[in-house]
Structure 1
């Protein structure tokens, strides 16, 4: 089911999970500039899963550590495997937005050390998964949507649990933690379209506290 949430600036997705509509809009210019800075140093790439599949969503990272996947498995690394250098530092607008969104959702004191930047183009999707490579599950996840609209699928602690579909628009921020921290979630296949600022793509910023 798809809840009718367009009139609600704040909506509960599950216990401990909140959708903050338009929360990132006041920072959109700074966020776009910061994305360009990060990707100039660490370009988007299509990573390979441990099973040998190439992910359709292009990714890069900034912060103290970056999430990577290859035939060796899923993990966080302080080094960009493409360049052999440390990942770009997390831009100040990124860090400020993540901290403020987490506090607004009921998680004060969140200080992310990693931001995964995903680039979706029409036809790409992200299958249901858990964020479980972090060391401290008491810290929330903060997910920022920019560009084309998408459908966020939020389930439960088991992959087979029913999912609820939440429409995401440019500037929306989803935050989940506490009892929902390990809930399965994903993004349905992105529909074609063109955003007036970002064109035919969606950018997602996912902030995590990966280290202890």
Structure 2
């Protein structure tokens, strides 16, 4: 999709939007310095032993977005403290930085009256120009606290659907570097995915001219 087509599909002015009940898009929530620091942190988290990996599904397929797990290791379809579907290495601890960001994000989305949960899961997905994420629900946790999603690097088309199926109705949103998307309440278990990444829309100023990083933060509800 070229830039002219994108301007037709997405509005030129970007404003805070409630895409569905409990699903809030806040454009440009992270400033440039915050983005730069998060990109640098993601590079550190991606180092071995329990670093960036290709996720394999039970049916033998592979996710095209590669992933780093923090706090709890996600595998289809559960969580563990070690890389049970890989080399068995311990998962990287959940950083305090991300817990602070998650709490701030929930307050930004819903107001100060909402008390954020104890966020302890971070999933960092790296998308190259050809990566996609099929429509799915985040339903392997034992808590129903809102999911917090942060975007860095290349823009993408983010498809936010309904809680019943992968079909319509759904809403397409352009997520750019620095954007926040939070979904909880009635939308907590909505299907969502990334049908397309727009290559070359990242910025050297944050250290990421190519590729997209998505940091997804969740509350596990698990006992240690």
Aligned equivalent of 2:92: 88
TM-score (norm 2): 0.85
Counterpart mapping for 1:1-212 below 5 A: 2=9, 4=11, 6-8=13-15, 10-25=16-31, 27-41=34-48, 42-63=50-71, 65-69=72-76, 74-81=77-84, 82-106=86-110, 107-137=114-144, 139-157=145-163, 158-193=165-200, 195=202, 196=204, 197-212=207-222
Which runs of 5 or more structure 1 residues have no equivalent in the other structure?
none
**SS of structure 1 residue aligned to 2:122:** strand
Name the count of aligned residue pairs: 205
1:77-136 CA-to-partner distances (Å, cap 9, x unmatched) read 111233423211122222211110011112432321110110000011101111111111
Query: Which has the larger displacement, 41-50 or 113-122?
Result: 41-50
The two structures, once aligned, show a CA RMSD in angstroms of 1.8
Between 166-175 and 23-32, the greater mean CA deviation after superposition: 23-32
Of the structure 1 ranges 111-120 and 34-43, higher mean CA displacement relative to structure 2 is found in 34-43
2: CA distance, partners of 1:2 / 1:206: 25
- Alignment partners' CA distance in 1, 2:210 and 2:221: 34
